[in-house]
Structure 1
Amino acid sequence: MTPLLLLLLLLLLPSAAAAAASLPADFANLLAAKAALSDLSSALAAWDPGLSPSLSLCRWPHLLCSQSAASSSSPAVASVLLSNLSLTGEFPRPLCQLLSLARLDLSYNDMSGRLPDCLAAMPSLRHLDLSGNGFSGEVPRSYGAGFPSLLTISLAGNELSGAFPAFLANVSALEELRLAYNPFAPSPLPEAVGGVLGLRVLWLAGCNLVGKMPTSIGSLKSLVNLDLSTNNLTGEIPSSIGGLESVVQVELYSNQLTGSVPQGMGALNKLRFFDAAMNQLSGEIPADLFRAPRLESLHLYQNELTGRVPATLADAAALNDLRLVSNRLVGELPPEFGKNSPLEFLDLSDNRISGEIPATLCSAGKLEQLLVLNNELVGPIPEELGQCRTLTRVRLPNNRLSGAVPPDMWGLPHLYLLELAGNALSGAIAPAIAMARNLSQLLISDNRFVGALPPELGTLPNLFELSAANNMFFGPLPASLTVVTTLGRLDLRNNSLSGELPRGVRRWQKLTQLDLADNRLTGGIPEELGELPVLNSLDLSNNELTGEVPVQLENLKLSMFNVSNNRLAGALPPLFTGEMYKDSFLGNPGLCSGGSCATARRARAGRRGLVGSVTASLLTVAGVLLLLGVAWFLRKCMSHGGHGTENDAAGDKSRWVVTSFHKTEFDEEDILSCLDDEDNVVGTGAAGKVYKAVLGHGGDGNGAVVAVKKLWANGGEVKKAAAVEAGGGGGKDTFEAEVATLGRIRHKNIVKLWCCLRSGDRRLLVYEYMPNGSLGDLLHGGKGGLLDWPARHRVMVDAAEGLAYLHHDCAPPIVHRDVKSNNILLDADLRAKVADFGVARAVSSAPAAVSSIAGSCGYIAPEYSYTLRITEKSDVFSFGVVMLELLTGKMPAGPELGEKDLVRWVCGGVERNGVDSVLDPRLAAAPMDETRRALNVALLSTSSLPINRPSMRSVVKLLLEVRPESKEKAMEEKPLLV
């Protein structure tokens, strides 16, 4: 194939003949390598001496020449850097002929096939990176006997199989060995690895390693990074690990290691990060571990560790992150813990730690999160914690704490969660709480708090949950609390509150739970409660309420309703006379229903009957008008639809009606000829098949690449039913809905619809081709490791901008209704575009009602499933799930999540074990503050209440703020409409 192309070049470009004939050997081999690859993005287009004769060979992009040869008549190539260029095909063997090549980087492409033997014979090769591709099969054994100069090799994130390539330990000069995330057969880590004495990086996470860690690892005196996480290693951590005198990071989490944490690690002067979480380690934490002078982060959570936390913890001079959750630790914490440490994150939850909270935890003024729930702590909360203005989250429930909360602690300015439930704390809520402007959750139930609820609670602009049940609060419910429009849950059960319920509760438009049972409240039930749109749990039982049950409460969709044991009287509203509410009104002898309230019921029934009659009449008239409209529509279609429909009905299948939305260089014959070969199928869904089509073949062999969606003849029954809603009725199917939407919108993050074709019941949609397929396939198809943190963040921003355009810049706004990772497509540069508008729908300012649910399992917003009303916030929820997929690497639903969906799984994991426990291990190198901020945006977007979710325009802004460099770049770029 290559000689033919070269001949065509000589014939078509005579001026390039001399240049091609005199090419140095290395550059002739580069052209041969280029010809062997598929370069859809034309990243190597400049590799052509005939098209750019004035360009020095050593200035070809993605190349570096050796310094000694760059200016000579026969330059030699020293580096070939082709990372992340969307190249496909098998490894181009002509590259093996580059005898001076020192660095070869083909990482993060879509190359496949087996690894070539010839690489091992390259005499000058020092750095080889083939990570993030689809290479398969076994690693050639020649790799163990060759590579005379190799220093680094990375084959991570491929599909390599067979036994673990232990023979790579024979490459004696090796400094970096990166084989992570390949599906090798279960294999032990060989002892011979300890003989590669120059090794600095050993990254073998997710390689299916079994058996014990070899003791020879301790011989690697130059090792800086040891990562054996996410394998099936068993046995003890070898004590020889204490000999890794250069090691900075040790990652052993998510294995099946047993035994104790070895002694001697305190002598590791450079150790900063040690993570052996999620194993079966037992015994006590060695005291010398905290003497490692640079230890910053220690994660030993979810093990079976016992004994006391060593007193040496107080001497850990660099420690800022300590997580010992879910062990069996006992005893007191060192009283000066934190005095000498720049502590930021402390999680000791689910142990049996006793004694008092050390007053020195925030001595460095950096403590942000204090999580010691479910232990046996006693005594008061130290006054010093009230001065710790950096705190954002405090969780101390289910201990034995007593005394008053430090007054200043109520008003910490950055605190968003204060959880003190299940203790014996006393005193009152201090007025200083007015300073807690960021407080979202105040959870203080099951204590001994007293006094009146302070009116300052009404000044908190972000308060979502106030849970203070089972205390001794008295006095009236503050009227100022009705001003808190963010309130979602209010639980003040079993206190001594008195007085009437305040007026103005209609402002609680986000309230889902109101529990004021077991108090001494008087007066009537406010009619305004019936105006709260999302209230689903209302308990006012065991009070002294009087008056009637407001008929307005019938407007609520209540899963829990109880007003028993009050002094209510009068006739029950008709809705509440049913069997399901029989226990909701007990202990109110003045209430009546049935025969004793027959007159009132007949009067109300008469009013309802009149309304029903009028409604029925209106519906009848509307139905007749609808039938007449449909008949007129069908008549018009029959009179104007002969542009191919009649021919199709007569058996002529060659006539296609083409509607173009952009200027195209191809016609229907180009498209139809590509649909005969089933090898071109790149996807199949409920609506039809998607083909990759190369159009307009010419003498140069290059043509436009498009994606063609061929819809099933019946439209796909499930998809078609949903698409009827997308078009607002009228029988529009997937084809009509998608054309109606994509045909009128233009945005760089919305997939481009070139044209559509119709012939009878056959329909084709022609889109721009996205070479990296769908986000879902890439992320969950074994190549999630290829998407590093910057790429994942960029995908979030791109997709968010596309949805923001639909919601905010289209008139009327468009709701996608099926946002999911498989409907976000990636181009050659991993830039994202939103696709598949078969069930999209334009909506007005009021929520639109639909008769069926569109969307995919795990992505559907909770209110959509039971109200059948769609708003832009439904898309926001679905996009939040996509963000969680990118952050966790998990599917939105599946066996690994148990009975939960992804949203609940993440929330539960974060609550129990912190943010890091839910993040994708492949994002371990990502900045912790950025991934945490992104997770906050995702969780905010998946709030159970639509009103709590941000708009898509706000989501874009929040995501840009996650990574400052992305925000600066976005400000430099003008929005592109295509």
Structure 2
Amino acid sequence: MLGALTTLDLSNSSLTGSIPNSITSLIQLYNLRLWGNQLTGPIPIGIGSLSNLGTLNLSNNSLIGSVPNSISLLIGLTHLELSNNSLTGSIHNSIAFLTGLSYLGLSKNTWKGSIPNSISMFFKLSYLDLSENSLTGSIPNSISFLTGLSYLDLSKNLLTGSIPNSILFLTGLSYLFVGQNQFTGTIPAGIGNLNRLEMLDLSSSSLSGSIPDKITSLTWVSFLNLSGNRLNGSIPSALANMGKLKYLYLSNNMLIGSIPEFAVGSAALIHMVLSGNHLSGPIPTSIYHCTNLQHLWLDNNSLSGALPNSFGVLSKLTSLNLSGNRLNGSIPSALANRGELNYLYLSNNMLIGSIPEFAVGSAALIHMVLSGNQLSGPIPTSIYHCTNLQRLWLDNNSLSGALPNSFGVLSKLTSFIITGTNLTCPPDYTACGPTQSPKTGFCRTCPSFCSTCGKRAPEPTPNTSSSSTSSSESSAAAGGGGVSVGAIIGIAVAAVVILLLLVAALVYFRLRMQRKPKTGLAGSLAASHCTEFSLAEVLKATNNWSEDNQLGSGAFGDVYKGVSPRDGTTVWAVKRAKLIDVDFQREIQQMADKNHPNIVRLLGFAIGGDLRTRPEQVLIYEYVPNGDLQKWTGPDAASPLNLKQRLDVLIGLARGFEYLHSFGMVHRDIKPANVLITADMQPKIADFGLVRAVEGTTVGTTRIMGTRGYVDPVYSRTSKATVASDVYSFGVLMLVVLTGQAPLTESAGGTRKITLWASECVSSGDMRSLRDPKMDAPGEAELRLAELAISCTVELTASRPSMAHIANELQAIREEVVGKDELSAAVKVDAQVQQMKNAEIEVTSQAHLLLDTCH
């Protein structure tokens, strides 16, 4: 019966091992789809015997070796997809015999050599992806024969030479990606002939010369990336007015002249990045036409003139960077009160006047950097409206006056710089009174606040005689000397309280000595709010530590699955700890009362064996059935999550870590392997063997804990873990979840860190590389997620966001994704209809085969 099979689709089925040679006996196969598994080994050498094949998709596996020559016998193939494997060798001429191909995907392998001239034989090809290999040589002129191409991706190779004019014959192209190669020469002058282009990426390819005027003929282009080249000359005047252009990246070139005027055709622009050029002149006031603009970066140019008031009408603007120019005049009042503006960077210009008053519309501001200008006057007291402000840099200005007491409400402010100004502290410290918590008290959030005038921030609680004295001395210094009646009463009350505490401690000590306490480990845990089980119950639950029950093993213990003998239903994850006593106790005491939907719950513990030598120490956690996060998002994920599911996981994790941090606890080992997934695909933080309570703002350690690639470099240098260390690790985890790549990648050129690579992708607008190839096509959400992750990994720990902020930002991104999913519902319905039609054809084919057999 299998000999008559026409379709074999085992994609995303968690298959392992190699593709069996016996598959070549299914000679009636028309569709063979094994993509998205964990298959290894070579492609069967006899693959050519499947002479009826029309579709062969082996992508997203770990196949090795070269493509067998017998593939040239599959002359009926229309769809060949081998991307994202470890295939080697060159794209040899045997593939050239597959002249019926309409789709050829060979990306993300280790192909070497040049693109063969025989590629011209694919005259029916509409999709060609050779990206992310090690191809060398030039683009062959014979590519001009592929006139049916709509998608061409040669990016991220080692191609040299110039971009040939022969590519201009491919007038049906909608997507052209040839960036991140080693080209020389210029952008072909006739690029405008490709008037069906929707996305064009020529970034980071050492291209020189000017931007051809005819590029403005690409009226369908929505994405244009020419960043990271050596382009000179001016920006074509019509470039920003191309009607459908949403994403324009021209950064890090040598462009001169002024920014073109904007017109009605600019309304579609969402991102415009012109950073790192030699642009001059004013920012056009006509920028008000860019009504959908969200991300405007013009930093590190030579722009001059005043900031246009028309910025005030850009209601969707979320990020504005004008730093490193020669802008003058004052800051428009409307700019600081844009309801959606999160990031405002105006540093290193020649701005004058005062900081504008803030209003309710300022609440969205997260970063405001005004360093290196000539601003004067005080900080407005209305700054209290900026309730989400995290970074405020005002250094190297002419600001003066006392810092406003309203700073006390800026509970999220983590980075504040006023060096090089004449600002002073308020004399009464009302912005940071002694009863405020370290999390919200401004003097302890930003210690430089009080150090600017040489005054010491007040202690958190004056509950000893020495601290009371110090506090009194500070008050005397500030108030002109003398001890007030109130101070004398306070000292007397404190003395009485201390005396009562000493008496209570003496009584407690004597009563405790009269009891006969439990001894050893069990006694020290008696006060914990955690159920104690007997070792006999644990042995029964785990079938005496049966290997069949073992779930895994790690440095801190082996983990077994078990069922509670008390109710016969509750499933346990039993951790047979290898910890020393103090670590075992610490994990129980820290986790016993922690109850959060995104944290694995500690159900109990058990102690047995010889308590004087090596006790049997057992921790009992709730069982989480769906494995760890690596299983669902890693490079070997058999059933990868979509973007919405990944965001749901990240939101849950951020809320869980926010909860832990609220208790002053740091995890120190955040990574996908320590995130478990429930039956309903919700995340739970696990493995608390390294969790420590923070003392003050840090937890010191003699040995760096965590996993390579996820450890905060600041923690590595100082040996002091903070909540910011967890934020760094979470930022790396977000990038791993987004891209499906490892935090560190080893190659002949050294070790590549995912944080640096992602930063390069964001700055160059390379959204395609930022998403896991197993997800849908990239979009703006991936870019926002990458930007958020990168902000978690900045060097200055005070500038990293809090977990609460991260969770809120992830929630906003998710809401955007959900909205776009609803718009694509019609497309999904069409795809389902097509699948039903294909199924009908397949059923008809099987019916005919059965009738033939009967006859």
Contact 1:942–1:949 (8 Å) recurs in 2: no
Aligned mates of 2:608, 2:157 — CA distance in 1: 58
Which position in structure 1 is the counterpart of 2:829? none
Which of 766, 772, 783 is 2:636 aligned to?
A: 783
Q: How does 1:909-924 map to 2 (within 5 A)?
A: 909=760, 912-914=763-765, 916=767, 919-920=770-771, 922=773
Paired with 1:510 and 1:117, the residues of 2 have a C-alpha distance of: 62
Distance 1:769 1:527 in 2: 51
Asked whether the equivalents of residues 441 and 465 of structure 1 are also in contact (C-alpha less than 8 Å), the reply is yes
Equivalent residue, structure 1, for 2:579: 716
* 1:890-912 CA distance string (max 9 Å, x none): 44467689899756764x33653
- Decide which of 113, 120, 127 is 1:211's aligned counterpart: 113
Q: 2:51 aligns with which of 148, 152, 155?
A: 148
**Number of residue pairs aligned between Structure 1 and Structure 2:** 773
> Could you tell me how far apart the structure 2 residues matched to 1:936 and 1:836 are?
26
Which of 317, 332, 342 aligns to 1:440? It is 342
Offset, 1:935:
3.9
Are the aligned partners of 1:683 and 1:691 in contact in 2 as well (CA < 8 Å)?
Answer: yes
Partner of 1:418: 320
8 Å CA contact 1:795, 1:830 repeated in 2: no
Relative to structure 1, is the Cα distance of residues 620 and 275 closer, same or farther in structure 2, using a 3 angstrom cutoff? farther
Identity of aligned residues (%): 28
Report SS of the residue matched to 1:304: coil
2:288 to 366, 386, 392: 386
Paired residues of 2:655 and 2:804 also in contact (CA < 8 A): no
2:13 pairs with 1:105 = no
Of 663, 669, 672, the match for 2:544:
672
1:364-375 to structure 2, matched below 5 A, reads 364-375=266-277
Residue of structure 1 in register with 2:686 after alignment: 836
Specify whether residues 923 and 363 from structure 1 end up closer, same or farther in structure 2 by C-alpha distance, changes over 3 A only: farther
C-alpha distance after superposition, 1:123-166 (max 9, x if no partner): 3211111112222222111102x112111111112222222334
Which residue in the other structure is 1:549 paired with?
454
CA distance, structure 2, for counterparts of residue 574 and residue 218 of structure 1: 88
Residue of structure 2 equivalent to 1:687: 556
Deviations 1:361-387 (A, max 9, x none): 762411111111111112221122133
1:534 matched residue in structure 2: 445
Structure 1 position 113, deviation (Å): 2.5
Distance 1:963 1:399, change over 3 A: closer
2: CA distance, partners of 1:308 / 1:358: 15
- Whole-Å separation in 2 of the counterparts to 1:884 and 1:519: 38
Is the 8 Å Cα contact of residues 633 and 640 (structure 2) preserved in structure 1?
A: no
Return the structure number with greater relative CO, CA threshold 8 A, min gap 6.
2
Provide closer, same or farther for how the CA distance between residues 227 and 538 of structure 1 changes in structure 2, counting only shifts above 3 A. farther
* TM-score, normalising length: structure 2: 0.76
Task: Tell me, in whole angstroms, the C-alpha distance in 1 between the residues paired with 2:73 and 2:570.
Answer: 45
Q: Any idea what SS the aligned residue of 2:773 has?
A: helix
Cα gap change, 1:264 to 1:895, in 2 (>3 Å): closer
Retained in 2: the 8 A contact 1:365–1:389?
A: yes
What corresponds to 2:815 in structure 1?
961
CA contact (8 A) 1:178 1:203 kept: yes
For 1:332 and 1:506, how far apart are their aligned partners in 2? 48
CA distance in 2, matches of 1:966, 1:658: 52
Counterpart-to-counterpart distance in 2, 1:344 and 1:442: 21
CA distance in 2, matches of 1:668, 1:460: 61
CA distance in 2, matches of 1:825, 1:357: 51
Task: Report deviation, 1:338.
Answer: 3.1
Contact map agreement 2:450 2:456 (CA 8 A) in 1: no
Structure with higher Rg: it is 1
Q: Counterpart in 1 of 2:847?
A: none
**1:416–1:439 Cα contact (<8 Å) kept:** yes
Match of residue 63 from structure 2: 160
Alignment of 1:808-823 (within 5 A): 819-823=670-674
Q: Out of 552, 572, 588, which is 1:727 matched to? A: 588
Return closer, same or farther for 1:196/1:721 CA change in 2, 3 Å cut-off: farther
1:323 Cα offset (Å): 1.2
Q: Which amino acid aligns with 2:456?
A: V
Residue of structure 2 aligned with 1:358, choices 245, 249, 260: 260
Higher mean C-alpha displacement, 933-942 vs 612-621: 612-621
C-alpha deviation, 1:683, in angstroms: 3.4
Moved more, 304-313 or 397-406: 397-406
Where does structure 2 lack aligned partners over 5 or more consecutive residues? Answer: 433-440, 462-469, 526-533, 610-614, 823-855
The answer to whether 1:657 aligns with 2:536 is yes
SS at 2:144's partner residue?
Answer: helix
Counterpart CA distance in 2 for 1:524 and 1:803 is 36
Distance 2:645 2:350 in 1: 49
CA 1:362/1:368 → structure 2, altered by over 3 Å: closer, same or farther? Answer: farther
1:172 CA displacement: 0.6
2:182 is the counterpart of 1:280: yes
Which of 383, 399, 404 matches 2:301? Answer: 399
In the alignment, is the contact (CA less than 8 A) between 1:320 and 1:345 conserved in 2? Answer: yes
> In the aligned structure 1, how far is the partner of 2:563 from the partner of 2:99?
51
Aligned partner of 2:84 in structure 1 is 181
Q: CA deviation at 1:431?
A: 2.7
Give SS of 1:442's match. Answer: strand
With over 3 angstroms needed to count, the CA separation of the structure-2 counterparts of 1:421 and 1:479, relative to structure 1, is: same
Q: Structure 2 matches for 1:287-366, cutoff 5 A?
A: 287-360=189-262, 363-366=265-268
State the superposition RMSD in angstroms. Answer: 5.2
Partners of 1:796 and 1:883 within 8 A in 2 = no
Q: Is the 8 A contact 2:654 2:804 kept in 1?
A: no
Evaluate the alpha carbon distance shift between residue 705 and residue 903 of structure 1 in structure 2; reply closer, same or farther with a 3 A threshold.
farther
Which amino acid is 1:549 matched to? G
Alpha-carbon distance between aligned partners in 1 of 2:618 and 2:198, rounded to the nearest angstrom: 58
Distance of aligned partners of 1:346 and 1:365 in 2 relative to their CA distance in 1, 3 Å threshold: same
Given that 2:366 and 2:388 are in contact with CA atoms closer than 8 Å, whether structure 1 keeps it comes out as yes
Q: What is the CA-CA distance between 1:467 and the residue it aligns to?
A: 2.5
Secondary structure of 2:767 counterpart: helix
Deviation at 1:183, TM superposition (A): 1.9
For 1:886, the aligned partner's letter is: V
Code of the residue aligned with 1:634 in structure 2: it is: K
